[in-house]
Structure 1
Amino acid sequence: MFTVVPVVDIRNGIAVQARAGDRANYAPLSSPLVTTPEPVTALAGLMSLFPFRAVYVADLDAIERGAPNVEAAAAMAAAAPTAELWLDAGVAGEAAVRAARGWGAGRVVIGSESQAADDLGLAVRLEQAGVPVALSLDFHGEAFAGPPALWSDPALWPDTLIVMTLARVGTGSGPDMARLADVKDRAGARRVFAAGGVRGPDDLAALAEAGIAGALIATALHDGRIRAADLARWG
Structure 2
Amino acid sequence: MRVIPVLDLKHGLVVRARAGDRAAYAPIVTPLSPTSELLDVAAGLMSVARFDALYIADLDAIEGRRGNLAAIAALAKRWPDVEIWLDDGLREASGLAERLAIPGLRPVIGTESQEDAAVLRAVGARGVLSLDFKGETYAGPPTLLDPACWPEDVIVMTLGRVGTGGGPDLNRLRDIQGAGARRVFAAGGVRGPADLETLKAMGVAGALVATALHAGTLTGDDVRRLGDC
TM-score (norm 2): 0.95
Q: Give the one of 151, 155, 169 matched to 2:162.
A: 169
Q: Give the one of 109, 117, 122 matched to 2:119.
A: 122
Q: Structure 2 matches for 1:71-86, cutoff 5 A?
A: 71-86=70-85
Q: Confirm or deny that 1:141 pairs with 2:140.
A: no
Aligned residue pairs, count: 227
CA distance in 2, matches of 1:134, 1:168: 21
Q: Confirm or deny that 1:31 pairs with 2:30.
A: yes
| Aligned equivalent of 2:215 | 223
State the Cα RMSD in Å: 1.3
Instruction: Letter of the 2:170 partner, please give it.
Output: M
- Answer whether contact 2:15 2:36 (CA < 8 A) is retained: yes
Q: Give the one of 206, 213, 220 matched to 1:214.
A: 206
Deviates more, 1:28-37 or 1:99-108: 99-108
Q: Confirm or deny that 1:150 pairs with 2:144.
A: yes
Structure 2 unaligned blocks of 5 or more: none
| Aligned equivalent of 2:66 | 67
| 1:103 Cα deviation from its structure 2 partner | 4.7
List per-residue Cα deviations over 1:23-78 (Å, max 9, x = no partner). 11101111110110000001000001101000001100111121111221111111
3-state secondary structure, aligned to 1:10: strand
Instruction: Letter of the 1:74 partner, please give it.
Output: A
Structure 1 unaligned blocks of 5 or more: none
| 1:100 Cα deviation from its structure 2 partner | 2.0
| 1:144 Cα deviation from its structure 2 partner | 0.5
TM-score (norm 1): 0.93
